[in-house]
Structure 1
Amino acid sequence: MDDTVHTGTELLWSALGGDPALLDRVAYSGPAGLLGARLPVMDLARATVAVAGLAAVEHAGAAGRVRVDDGAVATAFVSERHLRVDGRAPVNFAPLSRFWRAADGWVRTHANYPHHKAALLTALDPGSDSVEDVAAAIGERKAVEVETAVYGAGGLAVALRTPEEWAAHEQGREVAARPLLTRERLDEAAPRRGTAGRGAGGGRAGGAQERPLRVLDLTRVIAGPVATRTLALLGADVLRIDPPDNPELPDQHADTGVGKRTAALNLDRPSDRRTFDELLDAADVLVTGYRPGALDRFDLHRPGLVVARLSAWGDYGPWGGRRGFDSLVQVATGIAAVEGSPDRPGALPAQALDHGTGYLLAAAVLRSLTEQREQGGTRLVRLALAQTGHWLTHTLPGYHPEDHLTETDGPLGRLRHALSPVSYEGGPTGWSRPPGVAGADDPVWLGA
C-alpha cells in the first residue's frame, strides 16, 4: 500500500480526535485496482472503514489489529448492487432517477420514493410519467430552472456544476469553509449508560456484562443505515423507526437492515409519540438522517445522549434545509463533471459519499462514546455528504490534475499546461520559455 492509504486514515483519525498511537494497528491487504475512478475513491473507502474499525477496538478495549481488506471494502461499498432477495436483483434507481439533458446543460433527478416522483411530475407537468415526456419537459428548460422548480415542489433535482462553479456557489463556499465533521460536548451530563461498559455489545473487562448499547435509528437510504448497521454488527441493540405511511424502499431496507430491529411509529399520533419518547428516554445513541430542521418539533434532546446528525448539504448555507442524496451531491459539487466526459456527466463507481460517510459516522459515534465514558457530557456529532465530497476532492491525497498544471504568459496569451513528469533533485522545474507563434522565430541557433 502506498502512503496515500495511510495518510487518509491518519487525517480521518485526527479529525475524530483519536490517539495517533493506535494507527499502527491498521493492516491493509487485498487486491489492487478496485473502485477505479479519477478521484481517489478507494482511498476514501479504505480510510473510512479503517477508522470505524479503530474506533470499535478502542471503545471495546480490544488489543487486536484492524484488518482492512480491499476486496471486502469494495464489495461493501456497492453492497446494494450485490443484494439478492430470493434470487431477484435489486432495483436501485427508478426510471425517473437519472441524468437528463436540459436546454443549457445537464440535470439529475431522484425519484425513487413515490412522493419525490409525484413532486417531480408536479413541477414539470410533462403530461405523463414516461421517460420520453419527462425528457421533453426538461429539454425545454435551463438546468437551474429545473432544479429550482423541482425543489420548490418538494422534489429533488440538481443542475450539473463544474468544480469551479460549485466553488463559486454560496453553498459550495459554506462547505469549503467548514471541517469534515464536527464533534461537540454540550454539557456536563453523565452518560446514559454505565461508564464501565466496553464495546457496543456491553461486555467489559473482568467478564461482567451490562445491557447492550441502545441505538435509536431515524435514518433513511444508505449513509445513516450503514452507520447503524455497523453499530449493530458490534453488538448494539439498534431499533429503526419509520413512519407507517412512508416506509423504506424494500430493497434498501433489505440491504441495510441486517442486525437491526424495525418499528413503525407516527410521531404526530399521541400514543405513538409517547412510545417514541419512552424509547428515547432509555436510548444511549440517537442517529438521525432527515433533512436539517425536519425533526426539531419533536424535542429530541436528552441529557447524556450521544446524537449523530447526518445531512446531504450540511445544516448551514442556502441549501441547509434541502433534501439530497449521494447521486445529487456528486452532480452539484463537480464530481460528476470530473468523472464524466465533455459529452456526458459521469459518476463514482459506488455511492461512495453515502457509504464512506456511513462508516465515518459510526466511527464518530464510537469515539464520542469512548470520550463520554471518561468525561461525561451530552455529545453531538454532525456530518454531511457534501463535506465528505469536499474531503474527497480537496483533502484526500490522490490524483488531482490541478496539482500538475501551471500557467504561463507568452506570445500566445495566458496558457495553462501540464508540468513535465521528468523530475530529479536539482533538476529543472519547468521550461525556460513559453511556446511562441508558429513559424515566427528566425532559423538560427541561439548564440551563433
Structure 2
Amino acid sequence: MTPELALDHIWTLAGCERAALRSVHFTGSEPALPSVFRVGALACATIAATGLAAAEYHRLRTGRGQPVSVDMRRALASFRSERYLRIDGGPPPALRDPVTGFYETRDGRWIQLHTNFAHHLAGVLKVLGCENDRAAVASAIRGWDGAALDQTLADAGLCAALIRTPQEWTALDQAKAIARLPLFEIERIGDAPPELATRHASPSVNAGSRPLSGVRVLDLSRIIAGPVGGRALAQHGAEVLMINGPHLPNIAPLVIDNGRGKRSAVLDLRDAAGRETLRGLTRDADVFLQAYRPGALAARGFGPDDAARLRPGIVYVSVCAYGYEGPWASRRGFDSLVQSASGIAATEQRAAASAEPRHLPCQALDHATGYLAAFGAMAALARRATEGGSWHVKVSLAQTGRWLQSFGEIPDGWQAPELTLDDVRDCLETVQSGFGRVQAVQPAEQLDGTPAFLALPPAPIGTHEAKWV
C-alpha cells in the first residue's frame, strides 16, 4: 500500500471529487520507522487527506485551489509528536505509569495492562490483590490464565488486553463486527439549509483567509486521538474550544501537545448548569467532536441526534476504541490495547523474534484516527455547504488498525533506524505558554496558499471561559 493508494481510498470513501487528488504530492519512502507495518503510508495518507480537505473547503469558499504536499519523515514526526515534546529544554516528559506494560500469565500467554489513570491502576491492583509495584504485579499475574484475567478486568471496566495473534482476533465476534464496517462513516442525520462560510465568518473571505476561518469546534476529548483531530482543525483556522470535566483525569504532556491551537474551559456535565452551558455552546457550534464511549454523552443529552436538534447543520464527530457495533463497543480502550488485542503487537513480536510483544513505534492508531476525524469533519462541512443537512462522522481505533493491517508487511522493516529528536529538529517549533517554553512538532501538511499553523499556545485546563470568542 502506497500513500497515494491509501489517500485515494480515504478520499473516494468520503465521496469527494477525485480530480482534487492530482494536487497532492508525497515524498519519502518506507521503512521510515522500525516496524513491519506501513506506518509511513498511514501517516502520509491521513495527514494528506486532512490537508487536502482543508484546501478543498477553502476552494469552495474562494474559488482558488492550491497544491498540498506531505513528506513521510515530517508525517511520522507528527505521529510521534508526544515523544518529541520538550518543556523549558527539559527531558522527555513521562507518558506512562510504571505498571503499564506487558506481563506473562500462568498459561504462557501475554497480557497488557494500561494503568496511566490513577483509578484504572487502583482497580487493577484491587483485582490482582497486590501492591503498586511492577514486580508484585508480575507475580500476581503469573497466578492467572490470560483469557480469564482479560475478561475479569474488562468486566470490572478496567483497561487491559490479552495479546492475540491476528488469527485469534479475526475469530472474535468483535473483529467480525469491525470487518463489516468501512474505515469511517459520514452519515446525514438531519435537515438544514446549505451553509458555506458559517454564521461566524467574516462577510468578506479573501484568498489570504484560512480554510476554516469562522468554523467553531467543540472538542470534548482527551489523551490523543480526539485531541489530535481538534488540533488538526485548529491548524487550518478553526476556533477550537476544548471542554474538560473537573473530575476527569488527563495526562499532562498530552494536554500540552494536543492543546496547541485551542482554548480550554471546564464544564461539569453532571451538573444541570454545566449541561445548559454546553447546550448554549452547541447552538453556536459547527463541529461537535467527542471521544466518550458510545452512548455516554447521549445519556447526558448530547448524542448526535440531540446536537442536531439543538443546532441544525451541526457536524457531530464520534471517536471510540473498538467500534460502534459488536460486544466490545462499550469496552474501554486505548491505542496500545487495540494493537495488543488485534494482533499488531503479536505480529511485531514474531517479525523481530522478540521475547515479548512489541507495539508499533508510534501511537499510529491514535494519530491516524484523529486525522481521519478531522478529515471527516471537513468532508461533512463541504457536504453541508453544497447540500445542507446535519452530519455524523464515526471513526474508531479498531477500524483504523484493521485498515493498517490490510496494507501488508515490510520484510525486515523492524530493522529500520530510529527517528531521533535530532533527526526531526527541523520539524519543531518553540512557543511560550502557560506551561513554560514548549518545543513541539509543527503541522506536517504543506499547503501553498494557506499554510497550516497553530495560532494559540497550549493553555492549562480551565484557563478560559466556556464561551465563544
- TM-score, structure 1 normalization: 0.84
Where does structure 1 lack aligned partners over 5 or more consecutive residues? 402-448
- Alpha-carbon deviation of 1:262? 0.9
- Aligned AA for 1:119? G
- Which of the numbers 359, 379, 387 marks the counterpart of 2:371? 359
- Which of the numbers 293, 296, 301 marks the counterpart of 2:295? 293
Q: Match for residue 26 of structure 1?
A: 24
Q: Percent identity?
A: 39
Q: RMSD of the TM alignment (CA)?
A: 2.3
Structure with the larger RCO, 1 or 2 (CA within 8 Å, 6+ apart): 2
The equivalences for 1:203-352 within 5 A come to: 204-205=205-206, 212-300=214-302, 301=306, 302=308, 303-341=312-350, 343-352=355-364
- Aligned AA for 1:313? Y
Distance in 1 of aligned mates of 2:17 and 2:111: 43
Distance in 2 of aligned mates of 1:295 and 1:152: 21
The reply on whether 1:138 has 2:136 as its aligned counterpart is no
- Which of the numbers 41, 44, 50 marks the counterpart of 1:43? 41
Q: Match for residue 109 of structure 1?
A: 113
The reply on whether 1:118 has 2:122 as its aligned counterpart is yes
Distance in 2 of aligned mates of 1:213 and 1:293: 26
- Aligned AA for 1:364? G
Aligned positions, number: 395
The change in CA–CA distance for 1:297 and 1:400 in structure 2 (over 3 A counts) is: farther
1:4-61 Cα deviation digits (max 9, x unpaired): 2211111111122211111111111247541231111111111111111111100111
Where does structure 2 lack aligned partners over 5 or more consecutive residues? 413-469
The reply on whether 1:372 has 2:384 as its aligned counterpart is yes
1:87-129 Cα deviation digits (max 9, x unpaired): 2321121111101111120000111111111121122111x11
Distance in 2 of aligned mates of 1:208 and 1:221: 30
Is the contact between residue 164 and residue 342 of structure 2 (CA under 8 Å) also seen in structure 1? yes
Any idea what SS the aligned residue of 2:242 has? Answer: strand
Q: Match for residue 54 of structure 2?
A: 56
- Aligned AA for 1:289? A
- Alpha-carbon deviation of 1:200? 8.9
- Aligned AA for 2:214? P
- Alpha-carbon deviation of 1:399? 4.3
Which range moved further: 3-12 or 332-341? 3-12
Which range moved further: 283-292 or 33-42? 33-42
Distance in 2 of aligned mates of 1:347 and 1:382: 25
- Alpha-carbon deviation of 1:201? 9.2
Q: Match for residue 185 of structure 1?
A: 188
Q: Which runs of 4+ in 1 moved over 6 A?
A: 198-203, 206-211
Is the contact between residue 214 and residue 284 of structure 1 (CA under 8 Å) also seen in structure 2? yes
Is the contact between residue 200 and residue 235 of structure 1 (CA under 8 Å) also seen in structure 2? no
Distance in 1 of aligned mates of 2:71 and 2:271: 46
Is the contact between residue 163 and residue 346 of structure 2 (CA under 8 Å) also seen in structure 1? yes
Any idea what SS the aligned residue of 1:336 has? Answer: helix
Any idea what SS the aligned residue of 2:135 has? Answer: helix
Distance in 1 of aligned mates of 2:204 and 2:169: 47
- Alpha-carbon deviation of 1:171? 0.4
Q: Match for residue 167 of structure 1?
A: 170
Distance in 2 of aligned mates of 1:257 and 1:267: 21
Is the contact between residue 326 and residue 354 of structure 1 (CA under 8 Å) also seen in structure 2? yes
Q: Match for residue 431 of structure 2?
A: none
- TM-score, structure 2 normalization: 0.80
